[in-house]
Amino acid sequence: MSDHYFFYVLLCADHTLYGGFTNDVAHRFHQHEIGKGAKYTRVKSRHPLKLIYSQAFDTKSAALKAEHAFKHQPRSQKIVFLAQHGVVVE
């Protein structure tokens, strides 16, 4: 486990983007993969998942704000955000 909190983005098999937060990215990704993550990622058509982005924050509040900002924008803006951070979504 880490002293940081993370905002992360998953690319789902149906090409949707899922944003979340955690204090352990590897563990949280594993939870999503085995069907014990968020309800959104439990849908079979969304598997397999791919972790495409994560960013560390010093506080839980900052990670939650990043997650909220990502989730509440249109897909086109999510793709712009990811591109600005070196992630290309096809």
Q: What is the pLDDT of residues 7-48, one digit of tens each?
A: 999 999 999 999 999 999 999 999 999 999 999 999 999 999
41 phi and psi angles, rounded to 5 deg: -85, -5
What is the separation, in whole angstroms, between the first and last Cα of the chain? 32
Q: Please count the other Cβ atoms lying within 10 Å of the Cβ belonging to residue 13.
A: 13
**Res. 1 pLDDT band, cuts 50 70 90:** low
44 phi and psi angles, rounded to 5 deg: -60, -35
- pLDDT at position 90, please? 79
- The dotted CATH code for 5-84 is 3.40.1440.10
Is the whole-model pTM more than 0.85? yes
How many CA atoms lie within 13 Å of 90's alpha carbon, on the beta-carbon side?
2
Q: In what order do the strands lie in the sheet with 5-11?
A: 17-22, 5-11, 50-57
What percent of the chain clears pLDDT 70, i.e. is strictly above it? Answer: 98
